[in-house]
Amino acid sequence: MVELVLPNDANPLNVLLGGRLMHWIDLAGGLAAHRHSRSLVVTASTDHLDFLTPVRVGEFVIFKSSVNRVFTTSMEVGIKVWAENYFTRESRHVSSAYLTYVAVDCQGRKHQVPPVLPETPEQIRRYEDAGRRRTIRHAEAERKQRP
């Protein structure tokens, strides 16, 4: 997915608003989850999000997202974001995020998603890392429920 940063997307310093970038990240991740599941999806959580460098008005924002792993009805999607100068085509990594989406039907009921079948070393690494992050998320949720 590619977006052009316009003045309406920026603060008075002509820098992209963090909330706008988060919105675009959610859209890019949701598109990957939708395409994999062939289903409606809803955002369940944002596990991790970094803002590494500012993005200026007039730059392109390029999003690359992939479904890292499926857990029955949910999917972890990794999104990497680059900014690209319109004239020089110089690009830089500006953000990374992991989001979880849940596949739902038209009534909002969860349903099963086809598994991810990793093949390349990079896909296998992302698949295994997603399992570790899920374990950490569940442990954190359990810790928060204790008095």
What's the pLDDT tens digit per position in 48-105? Answer: 788 999 999 999 999 999 999 999 999 999 999 999 998 999 999 999 999 999 999 9
**pTM, 2 dp:** 0.92
Q: Helix, strand or coil for residue 147? A: coil
CATH placement of domain 2-145: 3.10.129.10
> Rounded to an integer, what distance in angstroms lies between the CA atom of residue 100 and that of residue 73?
10
What are 53's two structure tokens? Answer: 């460098």
Q: What is the largest CA-CA distance in the chain?
A: 56
Residue 122 reports pLDDT greater than 90: yes
pLDDT for residue 55: 97
* Domain residue ranges of the chain, discontinuous segments joined by +: 2-145
Name the helix (H) or strand (E) containing 7: none
